[in-house]
Structure 1
Amino acid sequence: MIRAILFDCFGVLVGQGFDATWRRAGGDPDQDRAFIADLLGATNVGVISLDEMTVQVCDKLQITPQQWAEVVAETERADQGLIDYIRDDLKSSYGVAVVSNASAGTLERVLTAEQRAVFDAQVVSAEVGHVKPDPEIYELAARKLGVAPSECVFTDDSLAYCQGAEAVGMQAIQFRDREQFVRDLEAILSHT
């Protein structure tokens, strides 16, 4: 029986993922894959701050911090329709959580207080010391909701992170867009 639904932040609740932001800022995410992986890896576990990340991004892309902030503001908008669906259709029957590879304080930056209040738990990699697909981050989210991993559905735009959730016993939906996610989730929930 499904008792909880876990959501990635970037690429699901907010924006279209870091690659889209990087591309909008003038970078080539494929060409810069190693740099991005190292940068996000260090940021997501709290080795470097968001401000330090911004300095490195601006150096790499040869843009100003103001230009980077404008790109981030354009591309990292919350999907209010999805958040409304979670609040109106899911929250009364299921525990809901955000599970994100992100720096400390990121959710406060990209989601309003009202949007964050929709979620029963928030698990941010830099705040807990584990990054997806480490099994511990999924297990921690389930514990925070008081459920077993087998009672969870996890959604993320990253196939590898979905596979990480499946490895601990969760069902997973690779997120492509809101409509596809709702269809896939409702199919899972109708069979439990």
Structure 2
Amino acid sequence: MNTSISKEEIKIKKIMGYLYYIKYQLFNSNKYILIATTNPETIYGDTAICLNKNNKYYSLLKNKYVIHPIFKKKIPIIFDNIINNKKGSGIIKVTPYLNKKDFFLYKKYNLKIVNIYNKKGLLNKYCNNYKFYKRLKARKKIINYLLKKNKIINIKKYYYNINYSEKNNNIIQNIPSLQ
């Protein structure tokens, strides 16, 4: 559905989904960083990865880059306290167009921002072979692609919160717009 929704119309539900563990290879290295995500279809909008500033284990990665798993272009590794070291691996993929925390990182670190959805909520031309796909259909196709390329090394069941419309009980896909 192509509608604006106010914060008051949103409810949160806990659902069972999956965590997809995706390899982001370090630039000029055969080593990689593993990042877990519930939304692998948003990988086209990734413009950085972020680690907690206080994570000494990864301190050697300051001012380094990873290779984007699909585009094969280098994207920066940034460090910030906004990342919770106690949640997951303490590493996130930064997709500024779709997430408030990621948008904050985009502004703070002057990252690139990529809109991967059109006004109807379908993947756009930036997503190559998946343009005009609905989110969940694209997810299946992108997972299969990443599996074939050995970029996904694990998939685990995972319970997490998701935004639903109070009016029609549909999942809300965040597509920012001016009001």
Normalised TM-score (structure 2): 0.28
Q: Which has the higher strand share?
A: 2
